[in-house]
Structure formats: structure tokens, C-alpha cells
Amino acid sequence: MKPSLRFIIPCLLLMITLFGKAQQVGIGTTTPNVSAKLEISSTNSGFLPPRMTAAQRIAISTPAEGLLVYQTDDSKGYYYYTGGTWSSLRDEKTYARLTIGTQQWMDKNLDVTTYRNGDIIPYIPDSAAWIGAGTGAWCYYNNDPSTNAAYGKLYNGAAVKDPRGLAPIGWHIPSNSEWTVMETFLGAQAGAKLKVRGTNTWTSPNTGATNSSGWSGLPGGYRSVMGVSDFAGIGINGYWWSSTESGSGFIYLRNLSYGSTALTSYLYPQEHGFSVRCIKD
């Protein structure tokens, strides 16, 4: 054996032994923080996690909770694995919330254009394409972007059900039973307590509206697929999906009406387009 190898091999074995026994390991520092198993210190370079395509990320077998990678194609960025799904680690919108009983609700309708993992939700303004979409989709009421600020977007049921997650991280689409919990807490005339007061947005008479819950429900209308895909109901009705299916292709929703004080439950085909209001995990 060469003299250099006689020296190098024992040194490597010693280093492996020392690192294996160390309580903390420091790279770029001799005094790693006692709360860290590994601390990397640098002022001129960074930490580089594994880089891979979306297909390679998805193909990882039984990913561990908290696994982090950088995706190099499609919606580029950091992704981490949690709760049985991959989520995008990006600057997320901060959504204001309001408390109703034991629940925390988003204070306005959803208006996202991507799923939780960063994949794009198709925008489909064309009527025939909307009816035949077969996958998640969104649109503006009457294909008019000016409606977005007040009413948010309309989503079909396939977007609500998509496993990539329509709701932002930390939120979810309320189930039918969660809607019922809110309705029970509000008691008599629950719909009146959810509607914005007055007739600036709601058509007269906007029966009984007090908005005492702070939920500020608005009449954003809907997109119908009954024979022909068209828009109706703005100013008259507000509809919000639940996440609960019944039968094949039907999903429960809730309705507020200009002429009622009730919060009404309906069952509709998932091809329709309705508003979404999220609830905190």
C-alpha cells in the first residue's frame, strides 16, 4: 500500500466515527447550534436540495412526511410532501378569516387559478367546452373579469373534487356536514345572518338580511349546463359548493336567495359552475 493511502484511510475511518457519534454536525461552523443536528453556515453559497422533474417527483416511492425537492419543469419551485400529497412551497396568499361558532371561514369567495400543488386549473369561457370539460375548470360570471373582485370565480365540481386540492394550504372545501354545523349554530333565519345587507348588490327586497355573522354572502350567480351553458342569478342568488358527493356526479351545495332568510341545501350535477368559500383546517 502506498504511504499516502496508509495515512488517508485511517483518517477517513476516524472522521466517519466522529461524525457518527457527534450530537451536532457543523458545515462552515465549529459550533453548531445545540438545537440542530446539522447546521450549515455560509455567507457566499446556499443549500441545494435534490432537483427533478414533476414526473420524477411524483414517481418517488412512499415519500416521507416532510420530504422536500425542487421541481425543474412546469410549475417550477419547491415541493414538500405532507398529509398524503405534494404541496407547493411558495408565497401563499394570506386570507382573512372570521369565526362562526367553532369554525373559521374565509371572509370572501375563492379566486385561485391553480391547485394547491401549483398545477394550473383550466380557464374555460366557451359554453360547449365547459359542458364537455370532464376535468376541473373555472370561469368568471358571464365571462366578465370585472366580477372577480366582488364575487370571486365560479368552479365546476370536478375542480372541487380534484385530489390536487382546490383550497389553499391550510384550508379545505367545507363538507355538507360542516355547512350544517354553521347553519345549526346560526339557528333561525341563518341565511339572513349570512347575507350582506341592503340592495346595492342584492335585488330588492333582500329579505331579512342582517349579516350579523360577518360572513358577507353575495349573490354571485352561477353557470348552468341545463341544455345550454349560460349564466344566471347574479344579484338574486348565491351558490357555494360543498365537498360532499351523492350518487354519481352530484354534489351538495348551499344557496342564499334575495327573497328568503334561509340557507338552503341542494344537490346539483358537478358540471355546473358555483362559488367556493373555504373553511380552515
Say if residue 60 is in the same domain as residue 126: no
The whole-number pLDDT of residue 7 equals: 58
pLDDT band at 150 (very low <50, low <70, confident <90, very high): very high
Stretch 198-216: mean pLDDT: 97
166 belongs to a structural domain: yes
Tell me how far apart the alpha carbons of residues 19 and 255 are, in angstroms, rounded to a whole number: 62
Domain with 151, as residue range(s), is 97-280
The answer on pLDDT for 20 being more than 70 is: no
45 belongs to a structural domain: no
Structurally, the chain folds into a number of domains equal to 3
Say if residue 118 is in the same domain as residue 195: yes
Say if residue 136 is in the same domain as residue 243: yes
Say if residue 105 is in the same domain as residue 222: yes
Q: Is pLDDT larger for residue 100 or for residue 93?
A: 100
233 belongs to a structural domain: yes
Say if residue 14 is in the same domain as residue 116: no
The whole-number pLDDT of residue 12 equals: 56
The whole-number pLDDT of residue 6 equals: 58
Who contacts 241 (Cβ-Cβ below 8 Å, separation ≥6)? 155, 157, 160, 173, 251, 253, 274, 275, 276
Say if residue 78 is in the same domain as residue 14: no
Q: What percent of the chain clears pLDDT 70, i.e. is strictly above it?
A: 88
Stretch 192-206: mean pLDDT: 97
Q: Is pLDDT larger for residue 18 or for residue 41?
A: 41
Tell me how far apart the alpha carbons of residues 139 and 147 are, in angstroms, rounded to a whole number: 10
pLDDT digits (tens, 9 = 90+) for 239-271: 999 999 998 889 999 999 999 999 999 999 999
182 belongs to a structural domain: yes
